[in-house]
Amino acid sequence: MSRAGINISYFRFALLLAIILGGGKSTHAQTEITHRDRKDTLTICVCGDIMMHAGQIANARRNDGSYDFTSCFRLVRDIIGSADISIANMEFTMAGEPFEGYPRFSAPDRIAEDVATAGFDVLLTANNHIFDKGSAGASRTLEVYRRVKAKHGIQIAGLIDNQANPESDIPLIINKKGIQIALLNMTYGTNLGADLHWPKTTYISQKATLKKALEKAEDSDLTIALPHWGPEYVLEHSESQENTAVWLAENGADMIIGAHPHVIQDRQSIDLGDRQVSVTYSLGNTLSNMSAKNTQLGLMAWIRIAKDNTGNIEILPMEFTYIWCSRPGGFDNGYTIIPVNRFIGKKDLWKGGWDYDKMMTTLERVMNATEIKDKDIQ
């Protein structure tokens, strides 16, 4: 599947130290930064799909008719908040009542508030469900996010609503701790077809648009492409994903982290000669009602970037944290995101021990298949 002149090797744990080094732009020096010279270190946490199925909506409904999703994040709130920038894919609309789950998602507005207070800073919206309720539903969804942005300072990537200058919305540029990050979110398609009205989104097939966005990101210290892509429920990426990854890397992406398959997928490194571009094909689910094989296990991807006083950057080796989305009757009576490394050997804390056993069996199977290690699991 590799192109001529592009040497792509599958990750092995022994190579993990090399996959990210050199991931910055070739215009930036990639010298090793000593602790004494280090000025700032920026930490980014990227999570996978946050879904809103009917069961989740019903579970969050309170006696007074309001909704509360805060308990879903109670065991990972400190982890999410420990990053300077935390990112998640919001795979639903907030189109108003009636609320419903799959196949045409419309969730209560409260989920946006609770995701923000859980510690997420950037919400991704370019996915196949963003137009489940048409352009009107996407427009209302964007309005909800804007209200939450005004209150909590979150950023939105994916939806485009600048009719006078659409390309100004992509990529999303974030400056923090003296480090500039460019985020480019795109989708393979939408379930109800093309967006005929505003807002719009960015598609993987729009190569000219993506190329311009990547060119705009050239002055950033790190450009992360965040595609919504790939076959669902399989642990190995497809040829189409790989071809897209190579194109993104060749056109300026420093790192590629995907979503959509609802399971964790394998990783690769793309060797461009002067730099290596890491590809994490899918982080799996973060929060959902799915229970099929491998769908309850997800990843948090950790990226650390150091910049010294002279402007040299060092991108430290990427690390991962496995998370488990427990459904009612498992860990407790709700939908709870569990940091796996903190709960290994603590089966007695589970309401239903079968869920713990399923978590451990799934962890072993996925780790063996993808060779992705948890930074805190020996």
DSSP string covering 222-241, please? EEEEEEE-S-TT-SS--HHH
Query: Does residue 46 sit in helix, strand or coil?
Result: strand
Please say if the pLDDT value at position 123 is more than 90: yes
The whole model's pTM is what? 0.89
CA distances, 317 to each of 262, 301, 322, 346, 373 (Å): 25, 11, 17, 30, 12
What secondary structure letter does DSSP report for 13? Answer: G
- The pLDDT tens digits for 239-295 are 999 999 999 999 999 999 999 999 999 999 999 999 999 999 999 999 999 999 999
For the stretch 63-77, pLDDT in tens is 999 999 999 999 999
pLDDT tier at 3 (50, 70, 90 boundaries)?
very low
Contact 50, 325 (CB under 8 A): no
Task: Please write the tens of the pLDDT for every residue from 221-234.
Answer: 999 999 999 999 99
What per-residue confidence (pLDDT) applies to 30? 35
| Model confidence at 34: pLDDT above 80 | no
- Specify the amino acid at residue 31: T
Instruction: Indicate if the pLDDT at residue 210 is higher than 90.
Output: yes
**Among positive and negative, which fits the CA dihedral 290, 291, 292, 295?**
positive
Question: What band does 309 get if pLDDT is binned at 50, 70 and 90?
Answer: confident
Number of H helices, E strands in the chain: 9, 18
Burial of 157 (0-12, 13-18, 19+ CB in 10 A): buried
Paired strand residues for 8: 270
CATH architecture of 7-321: 4-Layer Sandwich (3.60)
* pLDDT at 369 > cutoff 60: yes
pLDDT surpasses 60 at 29 = no
With bands split at pLDDT 50, 70 and 90, how would you rate the model's confidence at 298?
Answer: very high
Tokens of 34: 């000593």
β pairing state of 155-157 and 122-124: parallel
pLDDT at 17 over 60: no
pLDDT at residue 8 in the model: 39
Q: What is the pLDDT of residue 108?
A: 98
Q: Average pLDDT over the chain, rounded to whole?
A: 90
